[in-house]
A and B are shown apart, each in its own frame.
Chain A
Amino acid sequence: MSPPKSLFDKVWDAHRVRELPDGQTQLFIGLHLIHEVTSPQAFAMLGEMGLPVRFPKRTFATVDHIIPTDSQLRPLSDPLAEEMIQALEQSCREHDVALFDPASGLQGIVHVIGPELGLTQPGTTIACGDSHTSTHGAFGAIAFGIGTSQVRDVLTTQCLALARPQVRRIDVTGKLGQGVYAKDVILTIIRRLGVKGGVGYAYEYGGAVIEHMTLEERLTLCNMSIEGGARVGYVNPDAATFDYLRDREFSPGGEAFDRAVEWWRSMSSDPQAGFDDRVDLEGGEIEPTVTWGINPGQNCGVTEALPSPQQSREEERASIAEALAFMEFKPGAPIAGTPIDVAFIGSCTNGRISDLREASRVAKTGKVKPSVRTFVVPGSQAVARQAEEEGLDQVFREAGFDWREPGCSMCLAMNPDKLVGREISASSSNRNFKGRQGSPRGRTLLMSPAMVAAAAIHGRVVDVREIL
């Protein structure tokens, strides 16, 4: 009998092309997702080398980062955005790569459409020129965020040269309280292990809390692995995974689906698999969580107070002081009650239908504070259609929220959706870095979509558990 292996080991071994002289592994990439921002230079390099796309049928493109969310009518009003989209369209035509553009009805954020089209499958390797590619690990895929040179590598060889990371198993035990979401779980994990705690690791998430999560919740969880430093994060596939994949556009059909399930199941971590490190968290202790600083690890429960540099560990003092100064927050002040100017619901972290449903429950409880600008941005056209079918767009509109077209939007503010000046946003996205949301001095508080909706209505950070 072969020794017990983790899913990570099995996927790595199944995709190994060869060991490289420098000690890294040449790994085959089963699915390559591309978008308009990190691919044009890679296609240019391909042209310079005179090489084709090696596996065009395993390469899929969409437009998400730069696309406006007010009107997606072509030509786009932003000439630079139009140029980038045209460049992608031309590259896809030249190389016979499928492109999910707005006209296709299948467009959306790359990490939202991969799963919803059934492209993201257990046991596979996935790469995309975006750090949040870890998202796809929710299905038991090993998914790597890569830079543009590596996009070129995958286009030309369908491979990456990678050093094998270690694997850390993170068990979240118990049960989450009402009003506590996957977003709160991952923010708590990052706070506990630190924003660089995962460097050199792949994270395997498990335990009762994770096993009870829907696939959409697991996507939120795996999405932010990279914010904890882990390039890869995954959950073992189970019955919920297989149910999700049934009848998706790119899922196997008929008897092939049953054969697929058998293989997918075989790729799960063996019960006795060993890990390089293990961490346990009690899910029942997790509160609705809000960031107060300039990286996602700088967060606290909504009933907690901000830290004070003097009372913190010496190695953290400088960064806490820098964060509080940038945010203009007082040490020891409660995070609840912090006034906000903007509310953003969306992104590859929290732009799925279940996120909109949860936020809409809160939206039904009041009207958006007139001083708050809002953006509700569905993660994809399919999410938007589903939401509209359920009347969620109407719920949001009636509460005073601005209902938008799909895209990355204010998560990284490459399109016109931006903070202005010193505005503070309550945001369901993934990064609270200085300047992240488009204003160099703009400030971001990360939280779950339900918490964002509550903040929009009250004009300040509130505990969503008091509303639901």
Chain B
Amino acid sequence: MAEKRVERIAGRGCVLRGSDIDTDRIIPARYLRCVSFEGLGEHAFEDDRTQAKGNHPLDDDRFAGASILIAGENFGCGSSREHAPQSLMRFGFDAFIGASFAEIFAGNCTALGLPCVTLEPEDLSLLMDTVELDPGQEVAIDLEARTITSRAGTMAAGIRDGTRQQLLDGTWNAVSVLLEAGDAIERAAERLPYLGDFSR
């Protein structure tokens, strides 16, 4: 049950400045009151956008149709809610570039086939400036080559080896890989004393 291989993502960028942007801001908790992820796209960053009165990057006409969100440090910190990447994906983002990402958020993105790639601070700052000046340009993430190319040039991009391999191989939906272990799972359970010797 391999999924599509994610090798290269190219599109327009949307620059969202600021560090430590948490998942409550990405999707407020009231939108977790649902039994399906459908319809979450329209609520991405809802409260920030309301307070910005049209001046939020997600409402900026220059970034309309962008498919790559360019963020700062520690993007996606806080809650483990998969509703956060789900809402951004449904809004139209296929990938995230940032200085760093919170661990659970990045894992949730991988599980949806959405790469989170990092840039060194100077490169990120240059990319943000370039995209803000010229939002129509193409930003391309090449996972094979580990690069991000834009009119600011080609920059070295960071992504953890395992995650990169999952995306390149189309095995980012971990369940199919995990199922392949077969009864090795039951054998692992049998080795654990708390599931046998002193289980209850």
Q: Do A and B bind each other?
A: yes
Which residues in A have some Cβ–Cβ distance to B below 8 Å? 14-18, 20-24, 26, 28, 30, 37-38, 40-41, 44, 49, 54-55, 58, 65-66, 80-81, 83-84, 87, 121, 123-124, 129-131, 133, 145-150, 152-153, 156-161, 163, 195-196, 199-200, 226-227, 229, 231, 250-253, 256-257, 259-260, 263, 294-295, 318-319, 322, 412-414, 431, 433-436, 438, 440-441
**A150 contact set on B, CB distance < 8 A:** 107-108, 111, 174
**B179 surroundings in chain A (CB, below 8 A):** 156-157
**B189 and A433 contact, CB distance less than 8 A:** no
Q: Which residues of B contact A318 (CB under 8 A)?
A: 18-19
Using a CB-CB cutoff of 8 Å, which residues 75-104 of chain B contact chain A? 77-82, 85, 100-104
- Which residues of chain A have C-beta atoms less than 8 A from B81's C-beta? 37-38, 147
Interface membership of B130, Cβ < 8 A: no
Q: List 21 A-B contacts (CB under 8 A).
A: A21-B177, A28-B188, A28-B192, A40-B35, A40-B36, A41-B82, A84-B35, A130-B80, A149-B175, A153-B175, A159-B178, A196-B77, A199-B100, A229-B77, A252-B200, A256-B198, A263-B197, A263-B198, A322-B18, A435-B25, A440-B51
- Does A146 contact B181, Cβ atoms closer than 8 Å? no
Size range of the chain B interface in the assembly:
35 or more
Kindly provide the distance from the CB of B76 to the nearest chain A CB, expressed in whole angstroms: 11
Known: A14-B192, A123-B194, A124-B194. A148 touches B51 (CB 8 A): no
- Given the interface pairs A195-B74, A259-B198, the reply to whether A16 lies near B33 with Cβ below 8 Å is no
User: A412 CA to B29 CA in the complex, in Å?
Assistant: 7
Nearest CB of chain B from residue A434's CB, rounded to whole Å = 6
Contact A147 B185 (CB under 8 A): no
* Cα separation A66 to B81 with both chains bound (whole Å): 14
In the assembly, what is the distance between CA of A152 and CA of B33, in Å? 19
Evaluate contact between A41 and B29: CB separation under 8 angstroms. Answer: no
Measured in the bound complex, the distance between the Cα atoms of B104 and A227 in whole Å is: 12
Instruction: Identify the closest chain B residue to A80 (Cβ).
Output: B33
Of A131, A160, A431, most buried by chain B (CB within 10 Å of CB) is A131
Nearest-Cβ distance from residue B153 to partner chain A, whole angstroms: 24
Does any Cβ of A come within 8 Å of B147's Cβ? no
- Listed in ascending order, the chain B residues whose CB lies under 8 Å from chain A are 18-20, 22, 24-25, 28-30, 32-37, 47-48, 50-51, 73-74, 77-82, 85, 100-104, 107-108, 111-112, 160-163, 165-166, 169, 171, 173-175, 177-179, 181, 184-185, 188-189, 191-195, 197-200
Q: Can you add 11 more A-B contacts, CB < 8 Å, to A14-B192, A412-B79, A431-B22?
A: A23-B162, A38-B32, A147-B81, A149-B108, A156-B179, A157-B179, A199-B74, A259-B197, A414-B30, A433-B22, A438-B30
Shortest CB-to-CB span from A80 to chain B, Å, is: 5
CB B35 to nearest CB in A, in angstroms, measures 4
Residues of A within 8 A of B192 (CB): 14-15, 28, 30, 124
| Cα–Cα distance between A113 and B87 once the two chains are bound (Å) | 31
Alpha-carbon separation in the docked complex, A414 to B29 (Å): 6
CA distance A253 to B199 in the complex (A): 9
List the A residue with the shortest CB-CB distance to B84.
Answer: A147
User: Of B30, B82, B101, B193, which is within 8 A of A147 by CB?
Assistant: B82
With both beta carbons as reference points, the residue of chain B lying nearest to A86 in the complex is identified as B35
